[in-house]
């Protein structure tokens, strides 16, 4: 069975500080992994994806994530938070198939 756990439903950081959003997954097969961002009253947009190439994946807006198989983790980071990063972030896993499984989301607040 596939599942995704996002630790921390709410994360607050100061502007310019490191952003770390945690995602752990369970999967019966080597998965594809995704991070999406959702701004208020909008749909989800892809930030980055891991598809079994490089374990460190760079995405848009300065975000990156590292796939660690031994820890079954795919944490999202950004060195310096910007006010515009305030949003809801979702981690998702997809085994080789048709379905995607989403975490419950982490709301990021950036404090000026």
C-alpha triplet 100, 9, 111: angle, nearest 5°: 125
SS3 state at 55: coil
CA–CA separation, 45 and 22 (whole Å): 18
Pick between residue 52 and residue 80 the one whose CB is nearest to another protein.
Answer: 52
Q: Which is nearer to another protein, 7 or 46 (CB)?
A: 46
Q: How far is the CB of 86 from another protein (least distance, A)?
A: 17
How many residues in the shown chain lie near another protein by CB under 8 A? 23
Q: Measured from the CB atom, is 11 or 103 closer to another protein? A: 103
Rounded CA separation 4/91 (Å): 7
Contact residues: another protein, CB under 8 A:
9, 32, 34, 36, 41-46, 49, 51, 90, 94, 96-100, 102-105
């Amino acid at each position: 069975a596939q599942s995704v756990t996002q630790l921390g439903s709410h994360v607050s950081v100061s502007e310019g500080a490191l952003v770390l959003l945690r995602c752990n997954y369970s999967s019966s097969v080597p998965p594809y992994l995704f991070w999406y961002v959702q701004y208020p009253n909008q749909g989800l947009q892809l930030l980055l994806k891991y598809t079994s190439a490089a374990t460190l994946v760079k995405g848009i807006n300065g975000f990156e994530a590292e796939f660690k198989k031994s820890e079954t983790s795919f944490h999202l980071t950004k060195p310096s938070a910007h006010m515009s990063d305030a949003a809801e972030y979702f981690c998702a896993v997809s085994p080789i198939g048709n379905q995607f499984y989403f975490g419950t989301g982490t709301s990021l607040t950036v404090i000026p």
